Amino acid sequence: MPDSPDPEANDAAQRDFAAQRESMVTNQIEMRGVRDPRVLDAMRAVPRHHFVPAFQAASAYHDAPLPIGQGQTISQPYIVALMTEMLELEGDERVLEVGTGSGYQAAILARLAAEVISVERFAALAQEARERLADLGVDNVQVVVGDGSLGWPEAAPYDAIVVTAASPEVPPPLEEQLAEGGRLVVPIGQRWTQSLVRVRRKGGRLKRETTISVAFVPLIGAHGWQQRGETRL
Ligand code: SAH
C-alpha cells in the first residue's frame, strides 16, 4: 500500500484504488456472469493492492494473476470471485482453503463465512498473509503451515473447501473432510492447464461437476504433484 507522508495524497490514492476495484467488479467479474451479491460486495470491499508486493500495487486490479514471491501467484480477480461463488456461502460456514498464498482469497472468504482455516506450505508466505490479514482487522481466519493436500483434519468437517493450486486428482482427504451438503472447489488436470471441478457431498454421496478451464500453480504434496527433483514419499 503506498504510504505517503502527505495525508491528502494518500486519500487520493485510496479513492483511486476504490474506483479501480469498482471497475474490476463491473467489467471483469459481473460481465463474465458472477451474480452472487455477497461475493460482489466482498470483491468491492477487500483492498487487493494490500495483498500484492508494493511494486505491483498499480497492477493489483488488472485482469490477471500477479507474482507474490516463492514462484507463487495471487489468482486473477475473476477466478477468485467465481471459485468463491461456487462455494455457495451464506455466512455461517466453516471453510478450509488450501493454498493461502497472499491471503487475498482468505480475506474474501472471511467476509462470507463464519470461520476460515487456510493452509500454506511455505511458512514465509503464511506469515506475510497473517500480517496482512491482521492489518485489515480480519480475525476469523487461521493461517496454518502444512501439506494442505492432506486437508486439515483437526478442524474437519468443513462446509466448504477451496483449493487454489492445481492437482492431478481430487485429493481423497479433502473429500473425506467435506461435511454433508458441503462443496469442494478444486482445479484438476495437467500441470499447466486444468478444469475447475466442484464436488458436492449429498446424502453421503459425492457428485462432481466440471466447469471452465483454468491455469493454477501446482499443488505440491502427498496428494498433489511431487516436488521437482524429489521422489514422492
Ligand atoms: N489463494 C492465494 C493464491 C494461491 S497460489 C491468494 O489468494 O493469494 C497457490 C498457493 O498454494 C501457493 O502459495 C503455494 O505455495 C500453495 N501450495 C501449493 N501446494 C500446497 C500444499 N500442498 N499445501 C498448502 N499450500 C500449498
- pLDDT tens for 161-184 read 999 999 999 999 999 999 999 999
Return d(Cα 189, Cα 193) in angstroms, integer.
6
**Is the per-residue pLDDT at 29 higher than 90?**
yes
75 is catalytic: yes
Regarding the beta carbon of 173 and ligand 1, being less than 6 Å apart is answered no
Residue with cell 461437476: 209
**pLDDT tens figures, 68-100:** 999 999 999 999 999 999 999 999 999 999 999
Percent above pLDDT 90 for the chain: 90
- Least-confidence region, from 4-13, 66-75, 109-118: 4-13
Distance (angstroms) between ligand 1 centre and the Cα of 136 equals 21
Regarding the beta carbon of 219 and ligand 1, being less than 6 Å apart is answered yes
pLDDT band of 227, cuts 50, 70, 90? confident
pLDDT at residue number 7: 82
pLDDT at residue number 9: 85
Instruction: Out of 72, 97, 102, 119, give the residue to mutate to test ligand 1, the one with the largest number of ligand atoms within 8 Å of its CB.
Output: 72
| Residue 26, C-beta contacts closer than 8 angstroms, at least 6 positions apart | none
Distance (angstroms) between ligand 1 centre and the Cα of 100 equals 5
Residue type (1 letter), 47:
P
pLDDT at residue number 231: 45
Of residues 207, 214, 233, the one with CA closest to residue 163 = 214
Instruction: Out of 109, 141, 164, 223, give the residue to mutate to test ligand 1, the one with the largest number of ligand atoms within 8 Å of its CB.
Output: 164
Decide if 65 contacts 136 (C-beta within 8 A). no
**pLDDT tens figures, 182-211:** 999 999 999 999 999 999 999 989 999 999
Instruction: Out of 84, 87, 97, 100, give the residue to mutate to test ligand 1, the one with the largest number of ligand atoms within 8 Å of its CB.
Output: 100
Distance (angstroms) between ligand 1 centre and the Cα of 125 equals 9
CA distances from 34 to 4, 31, 41, 84 (A): 35, 7, 12, 10
**What region does 110 belong to: left with phi over 0, alpha with psi -120 to 50, or beta?**
alpha
Return d(Cα 85, Cα 117) in angstroms, integer.
18
Tell me the average pLDDT across 150-155. 98
Regarding the beta carbon of 165 and ligand 1, being less than 6 Å apart is answered yes
Distance (angstroms) between ligand 1 centre and the Cα of 11 equals 33
| Length reported for the chain | 233
Percent above pLDDT 70 for the chain: 95
Q: Which protein residue's CA is at the shortest distance from atom 14 of ligand 1?
A: 99
